[in-house]
Amino acid sequence: MSSAQGFGSNSPRTKLTQSQLNAILLRHQAFRKSQPGGVRANLKMRDLSHLDLSGIDLSDADLSGAKLFSARLTGANLANANLYAADLRLANLEKADLRRADLRGACLRGAVLSEATLVEVDLRDGTLLHYDSSGEMYAHEYEDSVLTSELTAATIRGADLSRAKIANAFVMQTDLTDAVLRGTKFMRANLTGSNLTGCDLTDADLTEANLSGARLSGAVMTGCAINRTNFSGATLIGAILDAAQMRSPNLQAAVLAKTLENPEDDLREMLMEHLSWIDSGGKAGKRADLSALDLSGRKLDGINLSAAILQCIALRGANLSGAAMAIADMSLADLRKADLSKADLRGVNFERATLTGANLTGAQLGPVHIQTMSGHVWRANLQRARLGMALLCKADLRKANLSGANLAGADLTGANLSEADLTGADLTGAVLDGATMDQAIVEEAIGLAS
């Protein structure tokens, strides 16, 4: 039986008007403030479909079995709320606070939860309940009494589901791009065809989960349990995996980064074609495309890959010191502990790239001025890049887009961050001695001394 039916088809819901709901909300607000006349909101089995609940405070409220089909709940506070078996299909919960909410057996098919807080939320199976003639609830006695939580086709981009319980749930064709899933329990969950690009799955549990056809490019999976996980056809190019995980037999069915059969000869030929392409202004040769290749640990210092396509490339521990890589597309690249000191990275695209522990001392990450009538400025893009513990001493980061980047523990001594966009960046423990930050945008930046 579908979880969209709440506590069962024999349990009719009472439709509330917006004015009736507003009266309940006023009493709930008084309850939250311990004011006279305050009453905890009891919206159990109520029909709130299509109503506007944006920004309301329903924390600790009882919404079990409620129908919230296509309801607007943007920015709502539903922390600790009881949403057991609730129907939230197509509901808009963008930026809502659902931490520790009980969503067992709830249906969130097609719901929007982008940037919502779902820390420690419970999305495990629920048990179908009914009301008897006296109004008391009783459990369904048959095998179909279990309600499986559903997030199919939901949009959950950039949401925080840390330590959430999502075991056995349906999360198929769901957009979880950039979601925080640290320590999340996905045991036996069905994530078929879902988009987990750039997700943080550190210490998550994917035991026996089905990730066939899922996209995990740029996903951090260190410490993630993948015992008996189904990765058939899943894209893990650019995913950050432990050495032990890479040896797991169930990764053999996944799409992983490729290696060159004759790396020295093949690379030499590609570079010669690329240099010819650069020198001729694109009239001869061929633009280098090294996307999805594994070149980890290689000595590539001084190489010229300006404007090359290097999406999802693996260059862990590679030597790229002094390399020319201006305007190169290195989005979702794995550059952990790579040496990029004094490299020309002007206008580079490092979006969602992992540069944890990388050496970018003296690197040029400023803008490129395109010689056109409009005088276009091509800024370096480090949006959501992972630069934790990276060395950025005396690096030129003028006008760079660092919004949402992780710079925790990075050494930015003497770096130039003039006019850089640090909106929502994490600078916890970063060293900024002598750094220039004139006109830098630091709205919602974390760990930045005021």
Residue 335 Cα distances to 196, 308, 386, angstroms: 20, 16, 10
pLDDT score, position 3 = 40
For CA atoms 171, 172, 178, 182, give the dihedral sign.
positive
pLDDT tops 60 at residue 134: no
Q: How far is Cα of residue 344 from the mean position of the Cα atoms in its chain? A: 29
Confidence band of 4 (pLDDT split at 50, 70, 90): very low
Residue 131: per-residue pLDDT: 47
| pLDDT of the residue at 148 | 84
Give the torsion sign (CA, 129, 131, 137, 138).
negative
Phi/psi at 25 (5° precision): -65, -35
Query: Does residue 66 carry a pLDDT above 50?
Result: yes
Specify burial of residue 205 (Cβ count, 10 A radius: 0-12, 13-18, 19+): buried
pLDDT in tens, 234-276: 999 999 999 899 899 999 999 999 988 898 899 999 999 999 9
pLDDT of residue 373: 60
Are the CB atoms for 391 and 358 separated by under 8 Å? yes
Whole-number CA gyration radius for the chain = 25
**Which is it for the CA torsion 161, 162, 165, 167, positive or negative?**
positive
**Binning pLDDT at 50, 70 and 90, where does residue 5 land?**
very low
pLDDT digits (tens, 9 = 90+) for 324-333: 999 999 999 9
Structure tokens at 417: 């961050």
- Both tokens assigned to 200: 């943080």
Quote the percentage of the chain above a pLDDT of 90.
Answer: 83
pLDDT grade, residue 372 (50/70/90)? low
| pLDDT recorded at residue 17 | 86
Look up residue 369 and give its two tokens.
């001025």
What is d(CA 175, CA 443) in angstroms, rounded to the nearest whole number? 26
**Residues forming a β-bridge with 97:** 77, 117
For 333-359, letters b (16+ CB in 10 Å) and e give bbbbbbbbbbbbbbbbbbbbbbbbbbb
Average pLDDT, the chain: 91
Q: Of the ranges 13-22, 103-112, 351-360, 368-377, which one carries the lowest mean pLDDT score?
A: 368-377
Q: What is the pLDDT of residue 263?
A: 86
Q: Measured in whole angstroms, how far is the alpha carbon of residue 244 from the centre of its chain?
A: 24
Cα separation of 368 and 103, whole Å? 49
Per-residue pLDDT at 138 exceeds 50: no
pLDDT for res 374: 62
The pLDDT, as a whole number, for residue 146 is 60
Rounded Cα distance between 223 and 245, Å, is 9
Report the pLDDT value the prediction gives residue 127, as an integer from 0 to 100: 56
Q: How far apart are CA 78 and CA 99, in angstroms?
A: 7
Compute the half-sphere exposure of residue 262: CA atoms within 13 Å on the CB side of its CA.
Answer: 5
- Looking at residue 347, what is its pLDDT? 97
Predicted local distance difference test score (pLDDT) of residue 377: 85
- Rounded to an integer, the average pLDDT of 207-221 is 97
Chain segment 143-202, per-residue pLDDT in tens: 344 678 899 999 999 999 999 999 999 999 999 999 999 999 999 999 999 999 999 999
Candidate from 287-296, 344-353, 360-369, 373-382 with smallest mean pLDDT: 373-382
Q: Which residue has the higher pLDDT, 111 or 16?
A: 111
Q: Distance between the two ends of the chain, CA-based, in angstroms? A: 54
Is the pLDDT confidence value at 8 over 60? no
Q: 141: pLDDT confidence band, cut at 50, 70 and 90?
A: very low
pTM tops 0.85 = yes
pLDDT tens digit string along 392-405? 999 999 999 999 99
- Within 8 A by CB and 6+ apart from 367, the residues are 346, 347, 377, 378, 379, 380, 398, 399, 400
The whole-number pLDDT of residue 157 equals 97
Separation CA 166–CA 171 (nearest Å): 9
pLDDT of residue 12: 67
pLDDT band per the 50, 70, 90 thresholds, residue 130: very low
